[in-house]
Structure 1
């Protein structure tokens, strides 16, 4: 059976400014801001939450299906998906649009200025969960606003359990809409900042929100993660990474581990441990999809980290 990954496919253009923004952005002149940054270092990465989650799930030899919307510039990404063995049957091309993309400029202090163009992502609601066959688990990851609402309702109507992963899309929704997502979803995964915002928007404490789903997972960066399930709180330590190079996509790698464990009916300790490991593997590489461990290598890392078999 397949795991349906509803979310974005995006290009990330990352540029490095070899100075500090504060030397060029004068606070007293902010009302007439007109600056240009010379960026001799630039790279383009394949990203988007759906792309990153599916990539990591494929590393685990899971069976992801991607449901997303892309624009006229999609050919390089589609070719990559084919090369990776990722099914693009449910990736919709929207003529006259660009694929979603972020333009990120980073200075020497790791400050970032980002411009994000959603493009075809705003048409994600044109995709239908019911068109994907052989699916018994899903995730609603950051995507177009209407697409996220529609896909959550469709998963629920079809009786397919799914993870609600609002991510950076969370601010698009009011408290009652977030409560609807939680009433429809079986699982929810947020980082610590998003957890605070979720509580603020809904007016409810985290423990109360956790009772709305089978499990509420909160990632805590270098402090690991916490899983609220069946009235219990399970703390999952972080795995020490080989290097800390780039946090981009670490949350998506973590979610792939969650989906893999849920699909196999594992307990939450084991599921959380695999998710933690996947995030640690990713952070040691730049970009969201440039780490390439085999399933056997992941299993060996899991045993080394946790002293138990992944199988």
Structure 2
């Protein structure tokens, strides 16, 4: 199964604030916030949702196609991705704009405040998905992740026109999308990914109820942090997969991307949705226990041990036969 992952490619600046954001917020002053949080740690890491998901898929033995735009500073990053098994032949490299930057501060409660600078991502709409399809000999699935909004809409329309199954993952860009745009990104998708907050925002943006969304997509996967994952399908069909527990939470950045990589790998291996979600949860916890979105160690023995402890030996055997 050949999977193309479109979306942001970025450099992450990750900071840790040892206090709690909530303690600094004054309810009657939220319309005039002017705060500075003194961080005691800074990590600079390579990231971006499409690159993170592609990295995870590559490490699992697939050869995903990364579709996104980066700056002239992408050379070393691109080499690292290729070493991880990612096809970077469809990355557009801008001549004038820096690779996007994600600046994020995490507090003691794992709450985050972040700013994203688009940079070269503004040129992502110039990538022709039909050309990617031809170059790679055919795509079996396209994930449209957070990117320049026009690029997201263009890739969605192209995937439908080419008859390629689509996974819609608008995530952070829901805040920028209007009703018509959000509906165009969602309708007809084989898979829809959101976290719990984004699921409510998506309903608000589309004006559709949960049932109306499910009439328009194949399967809706909602990540719920420590509560795990819900898999929703039309006809009131729902399954809930608990998270893989950990006592060593370090940094939540990139956890959702790792889940998506594991879930999509499970689909590529023709595992049922529940097993794919269990694999995704195991990868997500691996990322949660490390700083940076691509710094985790992906050892089959470790992944299967996590799966076995959380979901039982049967799940470990079924996933282990593919891993």
TM-score normalised to the size of structure 2? 0.86
Q: Is the deviation greater in 142-151 or in 127-136?
A: 127-136
Residues 10 and 204 from structure 1, CA distance in 2 versus in 1: closer, same or farther, beyond 3 angstroms? same
CA contact (8 A) 1:13 1:45 kept: yes
Q: Is the deviation greater in 62-71 or in 173-182?
A: 173-182
In the alignment, structure 1 residue 255 sits paired with structure 2 residue 227: no
Residues 286 and 235 from structure 1, CA distance in 2 versus in 1: closer, same or farther, beyond 3 angstroms? same
Residues 303 and 98 from structure 1, CA distance in 2 versus in 1: closer, same or farther, beyond 3 angstroms? same
Offset of 1:110 from its aligned partner? 5.7
Residues 106 and 245 from structure 1, CA distance in 2 versus in 1: closer, same or farther, beyond 3 angstroms? closer
In the alignment, structure 1 residue 128 sits paired with structure 2 residue 128: yes
Question: Following the alignment from structure 1 to structure 2, what is the Cα–Cα distance between the partners of residues 31 and 271?
Answer: 44
**CA deviation string 1:26-72 (max 9, x = no partner):** 998x9695x87665632201110011101111222122110110012
Secondary structure at the aligned position of 2:161 is classed as helix
1:114-263 matches, cutoff 5 A: 114-132=114-132, 133=136, 134-231=138-235, 232-241=237-246, 243-263=248-268
Unmatched 5+ stretches in structure 2: none
**CA deviation string 1:121-178 (max 9, x = no partner):** 1111111112222311120010111010011111111111121001101122222222
TM-score normalised to the size of structure 1? 0.89
Q: Is the deviation greater in 242-251 or in 75-84?
A: 75-84
State the number of aligned residues.
Answer: 310
CA contact (8 A) 2:19 2:108 kept: yes
Unmatched 5+ stretches in structure 1: none
Question: Following the alignment from structure 1 to structure 2, what is the Cα–Cα distance between the partners of residues 271 and 31?
Answer: 44
Question: Following the alignment from structure 1 to structure 2, what is the Cα–Cα distance between the partners of residues 36 and 23?
Answer: 13
Offset of 1:194 from its aligned partner? 0.4
